[in-house]
Structure 1
Amino acid sequence: MGWFLPSHMDQGLIFGLLGIWHMYNTLQHFITTPKEFRARTWFLAKGLPTVLRSMELWVLMFIVVVFVCKQLSHAGQDIATGIILAEHLQRFQHVTFAAFFLIYVVVGLVTEHFPTILPLPQGTVHATFALGFLMELVVFHLGHHPGTDLESFVHMLMQLILVCLVTFMFLEILWPRSILIAVARCMVLLMKGTWFFQIGLLINVPYHIPLGCSIGENDDYPLCATKQAEMRAKSLQVLIFGWQAVAIVLGTFISYACMLHYSHYISSKPTILIPGVTTPRFKDQQVYFVVPEVGDKEDHDSGESDGGDLDADGIPINTDSSTTMSRRLSSRNHVLSPDIV
């Protein structure tokens, strides 16, 4: 695309950030509510207004629209002559699989904000998103780079990523509660971004061109002078491909461990139970409130106990439960424990 970075590098950044966003939300959902976990293709941005909570879809729509407009910049010339030039064929192929992503975004927004207009079976949005990557795979395999040079080789590795991505997305439809499949799909999506970025480095940064290869003025990809240099260049790409995969797998385990320990740290704060207290949100459930550790200076010395006797924890004895809850919240500034949020 080459919007704000050289060609392929901006696509790598977009898919890489999308993979990280999906990985974080998937792990967070599983850690906080493992019994309610279900795979998703997009995630709400918490803390924003209702319309903007689907920010991921709006951003993706903007990216796809700009991509389509850029690819069709020469469409007027082709339509006027009635002939699609050979160098413009790939642009129309790109628009074809981008159309699937645009349909996915529109359907996702409609089902989110107007669910009664377009009620869909479970997994429909998931399948639509997967079809976009499937069409991209078809375009790469049949419409791009049929040769055996370095350009075809790096795109062949991209096809392997797309095969895994499409497979995992359709498996998510069959087993939507499987955390392993959901995490694997996020890892492959992140791998798609890192490999796109590597292709961008290969064709735009002279330092990353393998020895024995060079890019001419009219060439888009490096050409190798000898067969041996080409074999060496391909071996380097396989090595980089493997390093990226190892880094993503290791980073996933580290991220999960950090998020899990942080969640345990938050939930390990001391709590007490105030029996008999119910609210509309937590009706018929036990409600916990975080209390300060013993020894902290409280309101005991300020005389704000309303004249009642206090127990060892500073809770008024023989008072109405609703009054107790109100006094505790106002005097101690307690917050709900993460265990029940």
Structure 2
Amino acid sequence: MGSFPGHVVPGTLFVVVGIWHVWCSIIRYVSDPKSFRVRVWNPVPGFDGKLKYLELYVIAVGGFIDLCIEFLYSTHLKIFVNGTLNPSHMNNFEHSGMLLMFFIFGVVTLLSEKTSFLPLPEGSLCFIASSAFTAEYLLFYFHSTTHKGLEGYYHFILVLLIGFCILSTIGGALMPTSFPVDLCSGIAIKLQGLWFYQTAFTLYGSMMPDGCHLKENEILCHSTISEVRGELLANFQLFVHVFGVLVAVVGAYVYAETKFGRSINRTQEDD
């Protein structure tokens, strides 16, 4: 069983990174389609280069802070019991492992980009990112906390979105010049973050479906009809998120093409 902050914190990180990835992907493509390359991270321009690696710091620092919350604060430092991992906090240990993978991705990418100790091509960084998403996928698929009923349905959708993240990042390594693949990667990350938010507000907030309620860390529905109604509501919520994200992406592309693609269009007209 999770919590409202436990879903909102990682959801915020995924939404922020996803929005930034989508926007940068569009800008790079409309600015120069012929030289477009997939990027697993995108530098922040301006400020004399001081914020260039901000995205990687957000991933590494955000993942580390969330890791400390899960592994140290949530367990109250009761990590071992009778020489073994505390069975009461296996959920926190699993979350820690997932967050550790994203932390490693952020650190490895920073080392690759800022130093000469670990120079890695973009394709390798894509595979490292996909391994972090794979760890997340396995965590939620083989969770020690049994997700069932309405809660299980929301987490099943989350697993599907994580799978979308895995495929798109692997696709970036295999098709390094594909704009659709790079764009889909940002969309997948953003949708995952939005679904973390949706799960938080539905299962632990004010959007609980009628006929269902939270009791003793478990989502209970009064009847099968109430549970099915809740699952249908989840389908509609997913549709709204997907539709909203696609509309936003199209709007961003139209704006970027108008703002940053004019020089290219003029050049083509002159030719």
Q: TM-score, normalised by structure 1?
A: 0.72
What is the CA distance between 1:146 and its match in structure 2?
A: 4.3
Give the structure 1 partner of residue 197 of structure 2: 197
What code does the residue aligned with 2:234 have? Q
Could you say which structure has the larger radius of gyration?
1
8 Å Cα contact 1:145-1:152 kept in structure 2 = no
Q: Distance in 2 between matches of 1:157 and 1:37?
A: 32
Q: Percent identity?
A: 22
Query: 1 CA distance for matches of 2:64 and 2:171?
Result: 29
Structure number with greater CO (CA < 8 Å, separation at least 6) is 2
Q: What SS class does the counterpart of residue 77 from structure 1 fall into?
A: coil
Q: What are the residue-to-residue correspondences of 1:231-310 with 2, within 5 Å?
A: 231-264=228-261
How far apart are 1:50 and its partner, in Å? 4.2
How far off is 1:188 after superposition? 1.0
- Contact 1:71/1:92 (8 A) holds in 2: yes
Equivalent in the alignment of 2:23:
24
Calculate the aligned-residue CA RMSD, in Å: 2.3
Q: Which runs of 4+ in 1 moved over 6 A?
A: 266-269
CA distance in 1, matches of 2:132, 2:76: 22
Query: 1:200 and 1:22 mapped to 2: Cα distance?
Result: 24
In the TM superposition, what is the alpha-carbon distance from 1:75 to its structure 2 partner? Answer: 6.9
Q: In 2, Cα distance between the equivalents of 1:97 and 1:125? A: 17
CA contact (8 A) 1:145 1:155 kept: no
Select the structure that is richer in helix: 2
> Cα deviation per residue 1:78-101 (whole Å; 9 max; x = unaligned)?
336423333310111111122221
- Partners of 1:15 and 1:193 within 8 A in 2: yes
Shift of the 268–188 alpha-carbon distance from structure 1 to 2, 3 Å rule, reads closer
Tell me how far apart the structure 1 counterparts of residues 96 and 102 of structure 2 sit (CA, whole Å).
10
Which structure 1 segments of 5+ residues have no match?
A: 272-341
Extract unaligned runs of 5+ from structure 2.
none
**How far apart are the structure 1 equivalents of 2:117 and 2:237?**
47
C-alpha distance in 1 between matches for 2:196 and 2:176: 28
Aligned-partner SS, 1:72: helix
Tell me: CA distance 1:230–1:99, structure 2 relative to 1, closer, same or farther (3 Å): same
Q: How does 1:1-341 map to 2 (within 5 A)?
A: 6-50=5-49, 52-73=51-72, 74=75, 76-79=77-80, 81-114=82-115, 116-144=116-144, 146-206=146-206, 208-216=207-215, 218-219=216-217, 221-264=218-261
Aligned residues: 265
TM-score w.r.t. length of structure 2: 0.90
Shift of the 203–147 alpha-carbon distance from structure 1 to 2, 3 Å rule, reads: closer
